[in-house]
Amino acid sequence: LSSAFYKMNHKRRGICLIISNLNFSKARENPGQEDFTDRKGTKKDEESLYKVFTMLGFQVDTKEDLEGNEIIQTINSYRERNHEENDCFICCILSHGDKGIIYGTDGQSVPIRDLTSCFCRTQCSTLNGKPKLFFIQACQGKAHQQLVPLQTDACNASVGRRFSMCLIPDEPDFLLGMATTFRYVSYRDPYHGSWYIQSLCKQLHKSYQSNEDIISILTKVNQELSQKRAKNINVTQMSEPWTTLTRKLVFY
């Protein structure tokens, strides 16, 4: 029976890295990127993630307003750490995005695959056989103009590269939780945070000590998102988990 679950009995639960981008004033200086709005509400997401993953026993590290190269450097610095005594690794990225990419505060695009691949077997051996989870609050397509008081995490900047559907390495033990599906925007309330992150934190908190696995939790997130509607307009949002997990992952 135990082989059906990931071992969560190391000395430490592990690190939860939060990268949260709010201020995109530098990106707006670039020709063609004047539409990069500041991501009001991301602080609320930061706080909710910090609270729930601290409750679950993680060491939570928060990095704010990183440019594209700084995102890559930060991810690499965590790849180089020794995770031998840790159960798993979690990375949450809150930023603007488009198909297969997230943006630094300077408007530089960073392929999601480049970030997740940093933790594959050959790159980070101390996480071999352990769950590596990525939760990304960013659009995966173009925003349409909406006459609603919600904001989106899409920008009109051109991707300029062919999108690959494979955003995680072709090997076991990865989970990528995307706020929205390919080509679609994700919604963020400037006062209450994003639909996806707030629902994720709510469901993680509700399932505390219930022995519920992460896939079941993410299914409940989708159930909740499917019932939400943007104010004054009939639009909704569906999150999308991509996984190569080979066992059930239970935090409790």
- Answer yes or no: are the C-beta atoms of 64 and 20 closer than 8 Å: yes
Q: What pLDDT score does 150 carry?
A: 43
Is 250 a domain residue?
no
139/155 Cα distance (integer angstroms) = 8
Number of compact structural domains in the chain? 1
Q: What residues contact 107, with CB distance under 8 A and at least 6 apart?
A: 24, 26, 27, 28, 30, 33, 36, 68, 157
**Domain span at residue 186?**
2-243
**249 assigned to some structural domain:** no
pLDDT at 82 over 50: yes
42 token code pair: 């991301």
Q: Is 248 inside a domain boundary?
A: no
Phi, psi of 91 (to 5 degrees): -130, 125
Catalytic site residue 155?
no
Q: What is the pLDDT of residue 155?
A: 47
Q: What is the mean pLDDT of the chain?
A: 84
In a domain, 197, yes or no: yes
Q: For residue range 181-200, what is the model confidence (pLDDT) as tens digits? A: 444 445 546 656 788 899 99
Cβ burial, residue 166 (10 Å; 0-12/13-18/19+): exposed
CA 218 from centre of chain: 13
Q: Which of 96, 118, 120, 201 is catalytic?
A: 96
- Among residues 88, 139, 155, 201, the one annotated as catalytic is 139
148 assigned to some structural domain: yes
Q: What is the mean pLDDT of residues 137-158?
A: 49
- Say if 101 falls within a structural domain: yes
pTM of the model: 0.86
CATH number at residue 19: 3.40.50.1460
> How many C-alpha atoms does 57 have within 13 Å on its Cβ side?
16
Q: Is the pLDDT of residue 141 over 90?
A: no
Q: Report yes or no on 95 lying in a domain.
A: yes
pLDDT > 90? residue 46: yes
Catalytic, 166? Answer no
For the residues 204-231, what does the mean pLDDT come to?
85
pLDDT of residue 159: 36
